[in-house]
């Protein structure tokens, strides 16, 4: 705990058995109460590795996508009484050591959410980020800052922390099950006027780390543009605001069962 707040780390995993141990080893045990791993039907030994590390493991019965994986992450973290939920990719691209300052910024009431930026500090290219991804990051971020009236250094990091009170208000089920979920979630945070902080984070690009391919990156980019336009239209009172309307929700129960020390989760049962 930190300042009396229960902190749960969630890791949306897919074929992460080569990097999961290194990532978990850097999670600060003195403040993190529990680590949840949600496996999206990996074809490798991610579940076995996570179970061997003594983590709480959820396994989708089929591959539902990165966005749906996060929906399960947040749902289950909240059902376990988390006050603060920190999402970090188990591919070891980001430094889990930064969980402490990120959670602290929320635990002591300064922010409702915090993102770890690869752009602050100019470490992205030094860490191996491909030039085309860096360029796309900068262009898309500028576009979104203009349309959303924000001043973020980036919208595309996979290292985030949220208060459970904020998560309960975000209509996450309205978001995509694909990679653009990340971007839609930040748009919802900004749309609601919630306090969003940033912290500089080094990044590591290496062979074992996961990375979406060029086609998926292009698809993500168009999704970012669409999200930004929906945000601006909503602020102007044009079109549907369903994706941005806040709500209060209780974490659903009973969607998983214990099997061989692994909690198997069939996300189809949670669909609306």
Looking at the structure of the chain, the number of domains it has is 1
Asked, for residue 52, whether it belongs to a domain, the answer is yes
User: d(Cα 55, Cα 2) in Å, to the nearest integer?
Assistant: 20
pLDDT tens-digit series, residues 91-139: 999 999 999 999 999 999 999 999 999 998 777 777 778 888 889 999 9
What value does the mean pLDDT take over residues 38-46?
96
What pLDDT is recorded for position 239?
Answer: 79
Kindly report the CATH number assigned to the domain that includes residue 93.
Answer: 3.90.550.10
Hey, which residues does 88 pair with through a beta bridge? 159
Cβ atoms of 9 and 102 within 8 Å: the answer is no
Asked, for residue 2, whether it belongs to a domain, the answer is no
Domain containing 50: what range? 7-270
pLDDT tens-digit series, residues 130-150: 888 889 999 999 999 999 999
Lookup: tokens for 82: 């988390």
Whose CA is closest to 116, among 85, 84, 88?
88
Q: What is the mean pLDDT of the chain?
A: 88
Rg (alpha carbons) of the chain, rounded to whole number: 17
User: d(Cα 208, Cα 72) in Å, to the nearest integer?
Assistant: 25
pTM: 0.89
pLDDT tens-digit series, residues 166-183: 999 999 999 999 999 999
3-state secondary structure at position 88? strand
Say if residue 145 is exposed, middle or buried (CB neighbours under 10 Å; 0-12, 13-18, 19+): middle
């Amino acid at each position: 705990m930190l300042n009396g707040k229960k902190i749960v780390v969630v890791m949306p995993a897919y074929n992460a058995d080569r990097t999961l141990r290194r990532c978990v080893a850097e999670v600060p045990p003195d403040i993190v109460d529990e680590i949840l791993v949600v496996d999206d039907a990996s074809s490798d030994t991610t579940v076995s590795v996570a179970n061997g590390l003594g983590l709480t493991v959820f396994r989708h019965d089929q591959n539902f996508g990165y966005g749906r994986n996060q929906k399960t992450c947040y749902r289950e973290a909240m059902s376990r009484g988390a006050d603060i939920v920190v999402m970090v990719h188990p591919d070891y691209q980001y430094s889990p050591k930064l969980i402490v300052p990120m959670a602290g910024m929320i635990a002591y009431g300064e922010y409702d959410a915090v993102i770890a930026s690869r752009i602050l500090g100019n470490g992205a290219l030094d860490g191996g980020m491909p030039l085309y991804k860096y360029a796309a990051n900068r262009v898309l971020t500028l576009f979104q800052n203009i349309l959303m009236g924000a001043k973020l250094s980036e919208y595309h990091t996979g290292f985030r922390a949220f208060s459970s009170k904020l998560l309960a208000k975000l209509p996450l089920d309205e978001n995509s099950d694909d990679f653009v979920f990340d971007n839609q979630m930040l748009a919802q945070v900004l749309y609601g006027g919630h306090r969003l902080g940033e912290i500089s984070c080094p990044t590591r690009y290496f062979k074992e780390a996961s990375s979406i391919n060029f086609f998926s990156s292009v698809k993500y980019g168009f999704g970012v543009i669409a999200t930004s336009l929906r945000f601006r239209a909503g602020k102007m009172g044009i079109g549907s605001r369903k994706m941005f309307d806040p709500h209060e929700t209780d974490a659903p129960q009973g969607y998983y069962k214990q099997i061989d020390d692994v909690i198997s989760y069939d996300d189809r049962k949670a669909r609306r």
